[in-house]
Amino acid sequence: MGGATTRERTRSRARRGPGPGAWPLIGAAALLAAALTACDGGSHAADGRGGRPDSPSPSATSREAVCVRLLTYWAHDQLKPGGGSQSDYQQKGLSDGQNTILLDVVELAERERRSHGAAAARKLVETEVRRRCAERYAGEDTAPPSAGWPQ
């Protein structure tokens, strides 16, 4: 038999480190540990709120700000040569109402681009999306709903 004992083989593997198949598991474990640490929120802090005394308060992003960010991104995407992404509005993370705004703004921006160029179209997207999202979400809470799909 003349081979190494089980203990010797185990020690030899320990010195070499993990095998190539173990790296994805090690990476996943590291990501999980980082996520859990980040989500801890300092629950052991003495401030009574569960957060660190020197950390800023969490802030909610308003529906209007989310609308502006999403619609501006997707409008610029649609104005790319070739029409950009062919995803439907749900794949883009938009509600039906947001998609209606997007389609209207893209149509206006395409006309503006034909008449006055790409820079004018980008400017129109910025101003028109801000105006329409502000109108849409005027007077609503700053926090997105906790459940359901916003219209």
Encode pLDDT of 56-106 as tens digits. 556 678 899 999 999 999 999 999 988 888 888 899 999 999 999 999 999
User: Alpha-carbon distance 35 to 95, whole Å?
Assistant: 29
pLDDT of residue 45: 46
> How many CA atoms does the CB half-sphere of 34 hold within 13 Å?
6
Encode pLDDT of 16-66 as tens digits. 555 566 566 666 666 666 666 655 554 444 445 455 555 555 667 889 999
pLDDT of residue 29: 67
Q: Radius of gyration over alpha carbons of the chain, in Å? A: 26
> How many CA atoms does the CB half-sphere of 36 hold within 13 Å?
6
pLDDT of residue 111: 96
Encode pLDDT of 112-122 as tens digits. 999 999 999 99
pLDDT of residue 84: 80
Global pTM? 0.55
pLDDT of residue 46: 47
Higher pLDDT, 51 or 129: 129
Tokens read off for 136 = 């849409």
> How many CA atoms does the CB half-sphere of 38 hold within 13 Å?
6
